Amino acid sequence: MKDILTAPFLTEMIRTTTNMYNHGWDERNGGNISLLLTENEVSEYCDVNKVLRVIPTGFKTPELDGKYFLVTGTGKYFKNVQYNPDINLGLVKIIDEGENAELLWGFSDGGKFTSEFPTHMMSHAARLAVNPDNKVIMHCHPNNILAMTYVHSLDEKEFTRTLWQMCTECIIVFPDGVNVLKWMLCGTNEIGIATAEKMKTARLVVWAQHGLYGAGADLDEAFGLIETAEKAAEIYMKIAHLPLINTITDEQMHLLEVRFNVKAREGYLK
Ligand code: 2HA
Ligand code: ZN
């Protein structure tokens, strides 16, 4: 058995949480990530039959039965993942139609997965139905997206169009746009169900006055999506109070669609 601390999925997770902390997106225990792994990947580094503990989840996701996830821990700080990965991260296998998770590695101080586990697992199920290659659900509190939810309409089409207009790359990176959930109580099955519903049509879901969720085929893709949306929101927050003289027009967006072979969300461009 190889040392799990050398597993690419673990080193990537450590780099990503550290990077996100350094971006200021994950203050204190803010943010959480789950990464879907194959049994082959996991069994190189850990005995999948040696269950340390069984942790109840409080919800059902039968679609994920038998699937493995590396996930950040509840109450844990992204800042600290690099120093104590075995305390701050856990590797679990989903069993009993999602109602329980077998802990195979990590959470070594007796901890458990993020309080947002319902949203993570329900969003994985929703994204996998759209894209079987999806592996990552990522949540964080980026400053400018958060700020924008206080001063911009939360209408999904308007929110998306504003972000697209802030940088040329946006429509190329997230042609599916950004869905928006009005403020809801976090850490609940209800916000999980609502987020997963929004994940069916976009890989980015804003939680108003809270933060952002991103989905992707790997950690880089989910990170890059969030990074691009956050940059657009930063530009918006720099200019929103100033007279707008120029913008990216819908005609120009159509040129980007053709040049980069992407299709903007149906009905979002004139
Ligand atoms: O647990 O970000 O939404 C930290 C959070 C909750
Ligand atoms: Zn949060």
First to last CA, the chain: 57
Q: Is the CB of 189 under 6 A from ligand 1?
A: no
Looking at all shown ligands, the one closest to residue 119's CA atom is: 1
Phi and psi, residue 44, nearest 5°:
-70, -25
What's the pLDDT tens digit per position in 96-144?
A: 999 999 999 999 999 999 999 999 999 999 999 999 999 999 999 999 9
**Mean pLDDT for all residues in the chain:** 98
Q: Which atom from ligand 1 is nearest to the alpha carbon of 29?
A: 4
Instruction: Give the HSE-up count for residue 120: Cα atoms under 13 Å, Cβ half-sphere.
Output: 28
Q: Is the CB of 84 under 6 A from ligand 1?
A: no
Q: Is the CB of 32 under 6 A from ligand 1?
A: yes
Q: Which residues contact 170 (CB under 8 A, 6 or more apart)?
A: 163, 164, 228, 229, 232
What's the pLDDT tens digit per position in 43-56?
A: 999 999 999 999 99
DSSP states along 28-50: TT--EEEEEE-HHHHHTTS-TT-
Q: Which atom from ligand 1 is nearest to the alpha carbon of 141?
A: 2
For residue 269, the CA-to-ligand 2 centroid distance in Å is 31
- Cβ atoms < 10 Å from Cβ of 34: 24
- Averaged pLDDT for residues 230-245: 98
**Which helix (H) or strand (E) covers residue 105, if one does?**
strand 100-106
